[in-house]
Structure formats: C-alpha cells, structure tokens
Amino acid sequence: MKKIAFIIAAVMLLSGCAYHTELDKVAIVEVVGVDFADGEYTITMQYFNTDAAGGVTAVDSSAPNTVTVSASGKTIESALEAVSYTSGKETMPGSAGLIVFGKDAITSFRDSVGFAVSHYSGNPQSYVCAADKAADVVNVKFSEGNASVEKLRMMMEVAENMGLTVQVQLYEALEMLCCPTGSLALPLISTYSGNTDTTEDGTGIIIKGGALCTDNRYADELSTDDMSGLAFLSRGSGKCDMTLRYRGDDVSVILYGISTKITPSFYDDVLGLDVEVSAKCKYVGNDLNDPYGAKDDIERICEKETVSRITSLLEKTVTAFGADVCGLEYKIRSYSPEIWRAISANYREYLKNCRFDVHCKINTERFGIMQG
C-alpha cells in the first residue's frame, strides 16, 4: 500500500517538474493551406481559438471559433516557422485534419506532402485535397460548429458516400506518389462568392471535381463525373447516387453493392484492361400503374452512364497522361507478375497506349414508389 501511495504521489507531484506548454500557448491546427507564388510558399493555417472556449456556451459567440494566420517562406518548412513566429504560438501541424494544396503548390508534390510526415508528430490520417487557391478555402469560417475542418471533411465524406469523389488520406497520397507514375487524383475544392448562411462571410464552398497530379505535379482538372468514375475503380464507398435523364425527366437512382473487377492482358506489346462493374440499383419511380415498366430502360441508362464515367476518367488520366490514379499497377502485378515485368520499365508509355474495355451490369432489385 505504501508503495502504491508513493507511486501515486510521485506521478502527481513530479509531473510539475517536467517542461510543459499551456494549451493557450499552442496552436491546435485544424486546416493547413499551402500555396506557391513568385518562388515562395505561403502557409495559411486555421487553428482553434482557445480564448473562445471560455464563454457560457461551449462555443463563445462573442469570439471567433477559429483564428487564421498566414506566412510565407522559400520552403514549406520556413513558411511553417514563420507561421509560428507570426502567431506567437507553438504550432502543431500534426493535429491538422485537412491539408489543402493550391494547384500552384503541387510541384515536386512528394516533397511538398512530405512536410506533413517529416514531423513525427504529423498525422498520416490527415485528408489531402486541392484548391484553386488554398488560402481562399482555409479563410472560410463556417458559422456553425467550432471546427471548420469538421465541416469540410463532412462535405467530402457526403460526396464520397454519394460516389462523387474519393477522399485521400496523407499516407495514401504519399503511397500513390511513390508508385511508378507518381499519380493521384485529389478532390478539388473551390470557393464562390454567394450569400450562404453556413459561413460567416457568406462565401460558399463546393467540391467541383478533382485535381490530377502526375509525375509529382499538377496536370489537369477532372470533372465530378471523372471523380465518380474513379470511385467506381477504386475502393470508394461502394455506393453511388446518379441523376439520369429518362423520358424527359430527371430521375434519381442509387447504385449500391458496387463491385469492380479489372483484368489486365498483354498482346502484341499492348496492355489491355478489361473493366467489369456490377452493381445493384434502387430506383424511385413515379408511375404507379407500371412501376416495373422502367426497369430495363433504367438499367440500360445506368449502365451507359457508368461506362461513360469510367471511360472518361481513363481517357483523361491513363490515355492522356499515362497516369495511374487507381492503383492499376498493384492490380496488374497481383494478376500477373509476368505482365508487370514486361511493362514496368516503360509503364507510363504502356498506359498511354493502353486499350480498355469497360462493361457494366446493373441489376435493379428495389423500387421506391411514390405518387406522381
């Protein structure tokens, strides 16, 4: 008992001897934005405002919930140091839930992303996305909730659940950049001037598609449909919401249980990819007289749309740039190490000349019927 009392006393008393930093002297970073212009990196950080937490409510409405600070430097590291100096706080970039890269900052991308993991306190689970200008996104403060990052991440999570984008975590981004073509597609966020109530200054935020990075740098913009195609090819959420044109009306369908199989082949020095997608479909019809009448048509339209999205993605990434954004390398190697050995030395060129066949099979299993 005496021993236990001694240990408890030691733990409680000796902890005061150690070096420590008070919470209000630390910037608990929520979002980091990285921009590059005129040979300088600009880091914009949004961190939790500890002074706002002392109010009557959990979030003090009289003080901003988050503080934004910005500084520049020749390298990302020096810009980070400048941010600490400017804010007068010890910054903790490792706590950032989201890192936004401006399109111009996506050069030598592997090194740029590397800053976040070069700190061992870095968070490999941080999400990474692109923006036309990162500072514009980071400067937006949502009026509800105390953490903008949560709102931004929820936006991306909802979009991913709808099969419209694929979220990328920091370690996944680095892993993709280590692959032979150094390619990945990041969700692309954009701001617009509007009058939305969700942000403090009325600025709106949308996910407008994706940013294709290949050979470690920004290459092109991808549409929302392209990103949806990527969701089909990569793990995604296994679910996709589609709005289709049918008999002059917009109808909504939900694809679920999505399964994708990619079979590579190699004939006459040409790489072939046979993509087979299968999914179940839920369609909400409004014709009570013949609820099943549209089944075949809807399935056909869904299949066509799915093939179109995947083909569009493959054309914009694989054919145009030889960029492998969905881990095709792993699939090829897993299917046949021989094919991989034959193409690995000149992988990008083989991808550019790659022939792909995309097939889709949709099966409508559920109908939601409502009064038209």
Q: Which residues bind other proteins (CB under 8 A)?
A: 119-121, 123-125, 169, 171, 174-175, 178-179, 235, 327, 330-331, 333-334, 337, 340
Q: Is the dihedral of CA 331, 337, 340, 345 positive or negative?
A: positive
Task: Give 55 or 337: the residue with its C-beta nearer to other proteins.
Answer: 337
Q: Minimum Å distance from CB 144 to other proteins?
A: 23
Phi, psi of 189 (to 5 degrees): -105, 145
Q: Minimum Å distance from CB 41 to other proteins?
A: 22
Rounded Cα gap, residues 280 and 239, in angstroms: 9
Indicate the residue type of 52: A
Rounded Cα gap, residues 328 and 342, in angstroms: 15
Task: Give 299 or 329: the residue with its C-beta nearer to other proteins.
Answer: 329
- Contact between residue 59 and residue 161 where contact means Cβ atoms under 8 Å apart: no
And the tokens for 54? Answer: 């002392």
Q: Minimum Å distance from CB 170 to other proteins?
A: 10
Task: Give 18 or 370: the residue with its C-beta nearer to other proteins.
Answer: 18
Indicate the residue type of 122: G
Task: Give 281 or 323: the residue with its C-beta nearer to other proteins.
Answer: 323
Q: Is the dihedral of CA 309, 314, 319, 320 positive or negative?
A: positive
Task: Give 243 or 334: the residue with its C-beta nearer to other proteins.
Answer: 334
Task: Give 335 or 367: the residue with its C-beta nearer to other proteins.
Answer: 335
Q: Minimum Å distance from CB 169 to other proteins?
A: 8
Q: Minimum Å distance from CB 175 to other proteins?
A: 4
Q: Minimum Å distance from CB 222 to other proteins?
A: 22
